Amino acid sequence: MIRAILAASLLMAGPAAAQTQTEARTAKPTILAIFAHPDDELVVAPALADAAGDDVRVKVVYATRGDAGPGVSDFEKGAELAAAREQEARCASGALGLDDPIFLDYGDGTLWQQAQSLEGAQSPLEAELRALIAEHDPVTIITWGPDGGYGHADHRMVHALVAEIVQGMTLDEGAPQLLYPGIPDGSLPPVPELQRWATTAPELLSVNAKYDDAELARAARAVQCHVTQFDAASRAQLASVFDQSIWQGAVHFRRAFGRKD
């Protein structure tokens, strides 16, 4: 996965910018996966494990700690649930071989408020995301597409802010490649809860991150971490169901802004 992404990013940048990016990022390139909630990373889990296995620094950024999503747990909404979901996210990153994640601690279900500040300038979340992207200088950013997976407002706001930030960066400044995970049309499994998920025309999914059995096993272990969100039967089956239907050996992405290979 990472070799193809690095090659495509440098080709799009042009010779001079490619040389600069190569010098800056050859030591250990970084991928940021920017999501709204703990467990969002599961939609691309094998790809993250694959990249980490190729000596790439992979870090997940969560805009919230999931304080409003009790899932299948007995937790009330609030700080205790957030603390539990934070630990689950750390467990998942460990299972995938990733760096420790970053939590920005905005309220779960409130990200629509971050469209702009009351003064009309960038919102606090936008400012924090800009700072993180500048600090970590990723070669690639993975985040939700405009559909937010299944229309979740928090997912869509994270998408909008990350896309706005990246589209304002020039290639000479080392603009990262921005990737959105996609579910190919016709690949949704016959699971009622998944039927509301958006699908994407396969020809738009030009980046296919292949994974092996070991990386799929890491993804399955990551699913097991999220005990507040999925019951035991779902945790046991999720990675296998995705592998056999949606992924089929590769996590699928489309590039933002209509960029081509």
What DSSP line would sit under 183-235, residue for residue?
Answer: -BTT---S-GGGTTS--B-GGG--EEEE--HHHHHHHHHHHHH-TTTS-HHHH
What is the overall mean pLDDT for the chain?
90
Poorest-confidence range of 2-16, 88-102, 166-180?
Answer: 2-16
Residues 245-259 pLDDT 10s: 999 999 999 999 865
Please report the pLDDT score of residue 174 as a whole number.
81
- As given in the structure block, the two tokens for residue 48 are 């993250």
Please report the pLDDT score of residue 6 as a whole number.
46
Please report the pLDDT score of residue 23 as a whole number.
53
Q: What is the percent of the chain where pLDDT is above 70? A: 88
Please report the pLDDT score of residue 94 as a whole number.
98
Buried b (16+ CB within 10 A) or exposed e, 58-67: bbbbbbbbbb
pLDDT confidence of 142, banded at 50, 70, 90? very high
pLDDT confidence of 28, banded at 50, 70, 90? confident
Mean pLDDT of 39-59: 97
- As given in the structure block, the two tokens for residue 205 are 């999914």
Indicate if the pLDDT at residue 260 is higher than 60. no
Mean pLDDT of 118-146: 94
Indicate if the pLDDT at residue 126 is higher than 60. yes
Please report the pLDDT score of residue 17 as a whole number.
45
Higher pLDDT: 78 or 12? It is 78
Mean pLDDT of 37-42: 98
Please report the pLDDT score of residue 93 as a whole number.
98
Q: Where does the chain show beta strands of DSSP type E? A: 30-35, 57-64, 102-106, 140-143, 177-181, 207-210, 250-255
Poorest-confidence range of 19-33, 66-80, 195-209?
Answer: 19-33
- As given in the structure block, the two tokens for residue 129 are 């995301």
Indicate if the pLDDT at residue 139 is higher than 50. yes
Please report the pLDDT score of residue 12 as a whole number.
40
Please report the pLDDT score of residue 170 as a whole number.
79
Residues 204-248 pLDDT 10s: 999 999 999 999 999 999 999 999 999 999 999 999 999 999 999
Mean pLDDT of 25-51: 93
Buried b (16+ CB within 10 A) or exposed e, 185-208: eebbeeeeeeeebeebebebbbbb
Q: Which of 130, 86, 88 is nearest to 105 (CA)?
A: 86
Please report the pLDDT score of residue 16 as a whole number.
43
Please report the pLDDT score of residue 15 as a whole number.
43
The 10 Å Cβ neighbour count of residue 45 is 29
